[in-house]
Amino acid sequence: MILQDQEPVVAMLTDPATYCEPGPVETLETHISRIFLIGRRAFKLKRAVKLPYVDFSTPALRLAACLKEVELNSETAPGLYLGVRRITRDDDRLVLDGAGELTDAVIEMARFDQSCLLDRMAISGQLTPDLMTQVARMIVRYHRGVPPSHSASGSLNIGGVLDINAAGFATSHVFAATEVEALTQALRTALSRHSRLLDDRAAAGRIRRCHGDLHLRNICLLNGGPHLFDCIEFNDQIATIDILYDLAFLLMDLWHRGLPHFANLVMNRYLDDADEEDGFVLLPFFMAVRAAVRAHVVATQVEEGAADAARLTSEARSYFELAHTLLSEHPPRLVAIGGLSGSGKTTVAEAIAHAIGAPPGARIVESDRIRKALHGVPAETKLPDKAYCPEVSERVYRQIAWRSDLILAEGGCALADAVFDKPGNRDSIERVARDRSVPFAGFWLTADPSVLWSRIRARKNNPSDADVDILSKQLQREAGLISWRMIQTDRPVDEIGLEIINAVGD
């Protein structure tokens, strides 16, 4: 609901004479803000709205929200937020930082190239695995730096989100009441199913005062790296959440944009660095809640008489339908990919993981990354030869089995990626699936030795430390009887992936 006429303020901020910056004023709008761009600066105005989750109905409330936004975002995006400017009425005219009565407030920001926003980069096809890996690791660091909150149980916390969401849907006529009721009930059923795990995570300190609005449009490239900005400042309740619910907004956004492989990659890189394996099974539910939130937020814009109402209605419906899809149940299963170094195990695993199980896809349990984690170094760091002694390798394979079992126990899907050239290691991973009574599919990737050697020589910044000497030793060893399905990999990855996905679905 819009509660105050801000047109005089908008007119003032649209006038280039208001600023000490050259050039015309460009404007952007969101459902709760207006942004004015001029020269090297951007000025963000809170819209005078009152909704179930935000109250900007008075100048004092908008000023307080501006001050809090600058405080919260300055750490994650240093140099971007320059301060808060008060809009006052002096001698019957509006000015910045005058001595008169407070009329409104704006945040002053350093202007950056809009092409540096990750949503723009997604549209132009500029997102890369390396960039999304940087994003995942940046989010892990951010979450680690936020202190835990123990103010509520995990189930009550996400239940509060569903309450706000239901109230948000009630402000719009885009969806029929029966549709909203059906989705709300489905979300509450899923909440009930996950309540124990949510409460356990809250007790373990996983609820924190997070970003709250962590999607591609709120990540930008600054000083050569990705940074978060524009966090939720106006409602502590909807920002004090499980850290994986925070991450889930980005995963849902990528999935909704038709980039499931990046959603799976971000999830896996996040879990590689964060001790959050137990929460993996919650991600489809968290993504569904995020999609439902986005549906009602976009529907609210339709109710406010937006000029592009038809497009917004279609967009709101796409999020609504995605929420339903994300709530579909997928049975747990275990897939294992083995083969000698250079056979393409990790490349294939990353190409197919998004298509296994519920979105964002299977958790990849990769031997190379586990080995690096056991030694406390980044995945790209080369380890000494002693890190590959039989005792360490046995520990790595025990970790693969244990982590896969943990994922299956919670109802998720795991994709184990390792050489698996010893019969005992293959038997061990198969036994995990048998003991959990879940489907197992094993694939052995193979290629001509010349192809394997050429691939290994071409590797750069790769988690695998295997070189041609290691490959030579592997080729000389006897792998024993291999019952897994043989897959030739001297052909396009898409073709290989399709064959495996079809076989997994058999």
Give the CATH number for residue 81: 3.30.200
**Interacting residues of 306 by C-beta distance below 8 A, sequence separation 6+:** 312
Give the number of domains in the chain: 3
198 and 148 in a common domain = yes
Q: What is the pLDDT along the chain (506 residues), one digit of tens a residue?
A: 445 578 999 999 999 999 988 889 999 888 789 999 999 999 999 999 888 788 999 999 999 999 999 999 999 999 999 999 999 998 889 999 999 999 999 999 999 999 999 999 999 999 999 999 999 999 999 999 999 987 779 999 999 999 988 888 888 889 999 999 999 999 999 999 999 999 999 999 999 999 999 999 999 999 889 999 999 999 888 899 999 999 999 999 999 999 999 999 999 999 999 989 999 999 999 999 999 999 998 998 887 766 788 899 999 999 999 999 999 999 999 999 999 888 999 999 999 999 999 999 999 999 999 999 999 998 889 889 888 888 999 999 999 999 999 999 999 999 999 999 999 999 999 999 999 999 999 999 998 888 888 888 888 777 887 777 787 887 778 778 899 999 999 999 999 999 999 999 85
**Is 1 among the domain residues?**
no
Q: Which of 410, 314, 430 is nearest to 363 (CA)?
A: 410
235 plus 161 within the same structural domain: yes
Which domain CATH number covers 493? 3.40.50.300
Residue 165 sits in the same domain as residue 215: yes
Structural domain ending residue among the three candidates 88, 111, 134: 111
Distance CA 206, CA 200 (A): 9
Give start and end residues of each alpha helix (H) in 170-308.
Answer: 177-203, 236-239, 243-256, 260-273, 283-303
Residues 156 and 232 reside in one and the same domain: yes
> How many other C-beta atoms can be found within 10 angstroms of the C-beta atom of residue 323?
23
Whether 2 is in a domain gets the answer: no
Record the tokens describing residue 31, joined without a space.
Answer: 């459902």
Residues 220 and 98 in one domain: no
Looking at 78, 111, 144, the residue that finishes a domain is 111
Question: Whole-model pTM above 0.85?
Answer: yes
- Is residue 17 located within the same domain as residue 156? no
Domain boundary among 300, 326, 352: 326
Residue 321 shares a structural domain with residue 426: no
The residue behind tokens 């350093």 is 110
Same domain, 440 and 291: no
Range of the domain at 38: 7-111
